Amino acid sequence: MADQILNKIYVKVWRQNSPKAKGRFETYTVENVSQGSSFLEMIDILNDKLILDGKDPIAFDHDCREGICGMCSMYINGHAHGPDTEVTTCQLHMRKFHEGQTIVIEPWRSAAFPVIKDLMVDRSAFEKIQQAGGYVSVNTGGVPDGNTILIRQEDAEEAMDAAACIGCGACVATCKNSSAMLFVAAKVSQFAKLPQGKIEAKKRAKAMVAKMDELGFGNCTNTGACEMACPKSISIAHIARLNREYLTARFSD
Amino acid sequence: MSQLNSKIPAGSIAEKWSNHKAKIKVVSPANKRKLDVIVVGTGLAGASAAASLGELGYNVTAFCYQDSPRRAHSIAAQGGINAAKNYQNDNDSVYRLFYDTIKGGDYRAREANVHRLAEVSPNIIDQCVAQGVPFAREYGGLLSNRSFGGVLVSRTFYARGQTGQQLLLGAYSALNRQIHEGTVKMYTRHEMMDVVIVDGKARGVIVRDMVTGEIKRFGAHAVVLATGGYGNVFFLSTNAMGCNASASWVAYKKGAFFANPCFVQIHPTCIPVHGSQQSKLTLMSESLRNDGRVWVPKKKEDAVKLQKGEIGPNDIADEDRDFYLERRYPSYGNLVPRDVASRAAKERCDAGFGVNREGMAVFLDFKYAIQRLGRDTIAKRYGNLFQMYEKITDTDPYKEPMQIYPAIHYTMGGTWVDYNLMTTVPGLYSLGEANFSDHGANRLGASALMQGLADGYFVLPYTIGDYLGNEIMTPRIQTTLPEFEEAEKGVVAKLEKLFNIKGKTPVDHFHKRLGTIMWDHVGMSRNEAGLKQAIEEIRQLREQFYSDLLVPGELKNVNPELEKASRVADFLELGELLARDALNRKESCGGHFREESATEEGEAKRDDENFAYVSAWEYKGINEEPVLHKEELVFETIALTQRSYK
């Protein structure tokens, strides 16, 4: 429990001033970091020093700092969200690192996620996929009582497993093909397990897959790397369900 | 004396909303197409409002500062959402939810608004189920419920420990559908910088594109703020890093009164502060108090040993444990409301019984629940919360009790609104945590999600018609009007001023110092001398801020330091108003505890004779005293009594 102080660590980080600017790695020294601090608190300490030294601080996405908003997106020492399992970068703690270590930080790298600045990337492609069909078409009001739709507990739980996706993009960043299949599968599979989602199932699977293909994400070759990198442990079994939904939809055309 | 017209409808409490709906204007579909509405903030309240308005046929333009509406901090709500469904046959009802909320809010909320909230609460559950929100289910396929603090029935619906996430994703999906249909135009990574008033009405906003730094103008027939609370004025809170009060604050400066700023909720079960490098605090859901028992040692020598790390919690025998909530409040026990639980923890820690190195923590123990129900059941109910706790603290809560301490969590105060959710500026609305309306001086658990969605799905879409019905002849608002020109100039001037100070101190240093002042003097326990000191210290800090701030980077590029500086500039003013409101309210009620107004047992003592009102503050200028307006609270249905959870 008693957290030690890291006297000195080295942070090698991707710097890129704007989408079209040329990027490069820069190495900085960070001193006096408690191992009880989160990874992003370590970046806060580094940025404070950079500002005081008259330099531009590192731009990075973050918000809730409790692993649920999906905003943080660093590729740390070759792993999306760093070396710990089932965490986002903001939940990663410095006790996973040791004295004198060099930590390499890159942005998500994917043609579909262009860099905005430093470690910030543009994930609006994910928005477009959701807008293509990630919903049940019901307006506000005029819906039946919640208990008139009976759902088996196992189905609700499985739908919840898929719905736990936070849309961070670690799956895409980790996949050698930059595939967004796990992200798309999480939404399609959630609705496939629920009676509410059945009515538009075919349309949804086709529309979301078509949008994904259009936006420059790669194909899935079943390496399973996405599941390993997913901070919410979303299973690739959902990709299998997406494939089934998609094929059923195509064959019924 | 008051300029406030709350527009509470006539009739008995159960008839007010129906009567009101029958009387307000409805806009025809053909005219809705000609009306533009701006929605700022797309969390639960904003996303549900934007989607519902789009479905109705209005032209909606929505903004959020995140890169997606799915990231709004509603997503972090864990435990659940209340609704008066009475699915458990435990004698719940609209009236009981209404009563619990008024009582839980320590009789400082408006009866009519709260009753409406309880009335529409069942519809929210139905709506979310229809959207495909995967609520927890029983084996027979029916919806499952759990209990929350401050109530005696089970009315809380949940999706594991991620209820806020699932409800937000539901509203987000409805919003996405409208974006796809073209009724909503969504701008992410855009921050609202000012509201534009034309001829006394809200007619648009000035926003900053957070990627390019460009300042843009948008016009509309009405503007809806759903921009959340102001908890980050304390720096350390359970809010997301980007949560800010600037939209509400610029609205305040343009004439929207700010109500009850001193009503701040301090949540009893957060992971304690670990050191000076901490950037935010993490909540452990109130639902944990269903099965966890809160305790500190009975003997001070045990507490001292715990503080020195000489013994662990499991070395202390059951008979030497002081389950102080069960001892002090036998009928509610560990499920007393948040304000009561927080003060009780502070009382024990101040008396020297705190259990961590700093003496600022108490235990939340699952040993007894695991003995009773088994590890698997506990894992199913709280698994993700236990995992989150272990990742942060490196301690396994299945084996050792959690350490918890109160932290700033939610703000009941906010922009003053009438029954239609309109502010004192015509055409400017405020929803969700951003308004003051439903939670009085203390919010009950699982009621924030309820209020956000009630406002967005079922209240605003009706009430906004009453205003827009008079606007059907108003043409599209032109952003070339001088009012837009002037507002944009003001925004540019503010940003340039901050950027050009070129002092020596980064903005976070000022924010932390403000947070310390607020926590020390305007936190869980407040007194006259401390509040006066806080006001003085905030003023001094504000002067230093404007002479020594250092903002790096460029104005016209991604610049998080510039964004923070602009928000902290507003917090430095809001903090003073918060302290001023706390100073004015010489009673204790809910989350507001004035040491001068306590019972002999140390419980909060309300003063209904002098303070049964909403304080609504009117801005008068940068160095002028704000003017206090009072909305007297009339309790027609529920008799005012001193709250008791014993």
B117-143: per-residue pLDDT in tens? Answer: 999 999 999 999 999 999 999 999 999
Q: Amino acid identity of B219?
A: G
Token pair for residue B477? 């608002």
Distance, CA of A220 to CA of A83 (rounded, Å) = 24
Distance, CA of B550 to CA of B501 (rounded, Å) = 7
Distance, CA of B53 to CA of B461 (rounded, Å) = 6
**Does the distance separating the beta carbons of A52 and B134 come in below 8 Å?**
no
**Does the distance separating the beta carbons of A167 and B70 come in below 8 Å?**
yes
**Sign of dihedral through CA atoms B270, B271, B277, B280?**
negative
| A124-251 under CATH 2.70.70.10, yes or no | no
Going by pLDDT thresholds of 50, 70 and 90, the confidence category of residue A3 is: confident
**Sign of dihedral through CA atoms A127, A131, A133, A139?**
positive
On whether the CB atoms of residues B82 and B447 are closer than 8 A, the answer is yes
pLDDT at A2 over 80: no
The DSSP code for B628 is E
Closest residue in A to B132 (Cα) is A196
**Quick one: pLDDT at residue B641?**
87
Token pair for residue B343? 């003060």
* Interface probe, candidates A52, A68, A183, chain B, greatest B C-beta count within 10 A: A68
**Chain A residues 202-241 within an 8 A CB cutoff of chain B:** none
What average pLDDT is seen over chain B?
A: 96
Token pair for residue B64? 């959020």
pLDDT at B380 over 90: no
Distance, CA of B72 to CA of A56 (rounded, Å) = 27
Distance, CA of B542 to CA of B547 (rounded, Å) = 9
Q: Give the H/E segment covering residue B601.
A: none
Size of interface A-B (CB pairs under 8 A): 228
Q: Dump strand ranges (E) for chain A.
A: 5-15, 24-34, 75-76, 79-80, 102-106, 115-117, 120-121
Instruction: Calculate Rg over the CA atoms of chain B.
Output: 24
**Quick one: pLDDT at residue B57?**
98
On whether the CB atoms of residues B249 and B573 are closer than 8 A, the answer is yes
For B552, half-sphere exposure in the C-beta direction (CA atoms, 13 angstrom radius) is 18
pLDDT digits 0-9 by tens, A146-179: 999 999 999 999 999 999 999 999 999 999 999 9
B70 three-class SS: helix
| Segment B100-119 mean pLDDT | 97
pLDDT at B232 over 50: yes
| Segment B227-245 mean pLDDT | 97
On whether the CB atoms of residues A195 and A164 are closer than 8 A, the answer is no
Going by pLDDT thresholds of 50, 70 and 90, the confidence category of residue A246 is: very high
Is residue A190 within 8 angstroms of chain B, CB to CB? Answer: yes
What φ, ψ does residue A172 adopt, rounded to 5°?
-70, -45
Distance, CA of A32 to CA of A3 (rounded, Å) = 12
Distance, CA of A182 to CA of A194 (rounded, Å) = 18
* Interface probe, candidates A43, A135, A151, A165, chain B, greatest B C-beta count within 10 A: A135
> Is the complex ipTM higher than 0.90?
yes
Q: Angle formed by the axes of helices B163-181 and A153-163, to 10°?
A: 70
Token pair for residue A131? 């807008």
pLDDT digits 0-9 by tens, B181-196: 999 999 999 999 999 9
Residues in chain B: 646
**Sign of dihedral through CA atoms A80, A84, A89, A95?**
negative
Is residue B165 within 8 angstroms of chain A, CB to CB? Answer: yes
10 Å CB burial of residue A181 (0-12, 13-18, 19+) is buried
Contacts with B173 from chain A: Cβ below 8 Å: 130, 134-136
Domains of chain B, each with CATH number or no CATH = 267-408 (3.90.700.10), 482-620 (1.20.58.100)
Going by pLDDT thresholds of 50, 70 and 90, the confidence category of residue B2 is: low
Which residues, in sequence order, are CB contacts of A59 under 8 Å at separation 6+? A116, A117, A118, A119, A120, B558, B560
Residues B145, B155, B104, CA angle at the centre, nearest 5°?
140
Q: Give the H/E segment covering residue A142.
A: none
Is residue A36 within 8 angstroms of chain B, CB to CB? Answer: yes
Distance, CA of A188 to CA of B21 (rounded, Å) = 38
**Quick one: pLDDT at residue B381?**
82
Do the bridges between strand A5-15 and strand A102-106 make them parallel or antiparallel, or are there none, so unpaired? parallel
**Quick one: pLDDT at residue A253?**
77
pLDDT at B147 over 90: no
Which residues, in sequence order, are CB contacts of A247 under 8 Å at separation 6+? none
Residue with structure tokens 């300490």? A45
For B416, half-sphere exposure in the C-beta direction (CA atoms, 13 angstrom radius) is 26
Architecture of the A5-117 domain: Roll (3.10)
pLDDT digits 0-9 by tens, A97-153: 999 999 999 999 999 999 999 999 999 999 999 999 999 999 999 999 999 999 999
pLDDT digits 0-9 by tens, B16-25: 999 999 999 9
Domain definitions of chain A by residue range:
5-117, 124-251
Percent share of chain B, pLDDT over 70: 100
Nearest to B138 among A124, A132, A153 (CB): A153
Q: Dump strand ranges (E) for B562-612.
A: none
- Helix, strand, coil abundance in chain A, percent, nearest 5: 40, 15, 45
Give which of B189, B223, B208 is closest to B50, Cα–Cα. B223
CA distance readout (Å), A79 to A16, A125, B320: 20, 22, 47
Distance, CA of B586 to CA of B329 (rounded, Å) = 26
pLDDT digits 0-9 by tens, B515-567: 999 999 999 999 999 999 999 999 999 999 999 999 999 999 999 999 999 99
Going by pLDDT thresholds of 50, 70 and 90, the confidence category of residue B457 is: very high
**Minimum mean pLDDT among B285-294, B449-458, B560-569: which range?**
B285-294
Which residues, in sequence order, are CB contacts of B516 under 8 Å at separation 6+? B235
pLDDT at B1 over 70: no
B571 three-class SS: helix
Do the bridges between strand B215-219 and strand B201-209 make them parallel or antiparallel, or are there none, so unpaired? antiparallel
**Chain B residues 234-253 within an 8 A CB cutoff of chain A:** 238, 240-242
**Chain A residues 61-120 within an 8 A CB cutoff of chain B:** 61-71, 84, 86-87, 91, 93, 95, 116-117, 120
Percent share of chain A, pLDDT over 70: 99
On whether the CB atoms of residues A169 and A126 are closer than 8 A, the answer is yes
Going by pLDDT thresholds of 50, 70 and 90, the confidence category of residue A1 is: very low
| Segment B447-468 mean pLDDT | 98
Give B354-415 as a DSSP string. --STTS--EEEE-HHHHHHH-HHHHHHHHHHHHHHHHHHHS--TTTSPEEEEEEEEEES-EE
Distance, CA of B283 to CA of B389 (rounded, Å) = 9
Q: Is 0.90 surpassed by the pTM of this model?
A: yes
| Segment B26-51 mean pLDDT | 98
Query: SS3 letters for B155-217?
Result: CEECCCCCHHHHHHHHHHHHHHHHHHHCCEEEECCEEEEEEEEECCEEEEEEEEECCCCCEEE
Which residues, in sequence order, are CB contacts of B11 under 8 Å at separation 6+? B19
| Segment B303-308 mean pLDDT | 96
pLDDT at B398 over 60: yes
**Chain B residues 524-583 within an 8 A CB cutoff of chain A:** 550, 552-553, 557-558, 560-561
Token pair for residue A97? 């690192």
Burial of B477-511, coded b for 16+ CB within 10 Å and e otherwise, reads bebebebbeebbeebeebbeebbebeeebbbbbbb
What φ, ψ does residue B484 adopt, rounded to 5°?
-70, -45
Residue with structure tokens 């401050």? B150
Token pair for residue B325? 């909530």
**Does the distance separating the beta carbons of B552 and A57 come in below 8 Å?**
yes
A28 three-class SS: strand
pLDDT at B81 over 80: yes
On whether the CB atoms of residues B49 and B416 are closer than 8 A, the answer is no
Q: Dump strand ranges (E) for B467-602.
A: 505-506, 549-550
**Quick one: pLDDT at residue B149?**
79
pLDDT at B269 over 90: yes
Q: Give the H/E segment covering residue B428.
A: strand B428-430
Total Cβ atoms within 10 A of residue B619: 19
pLDDT at B61 over 60: yes
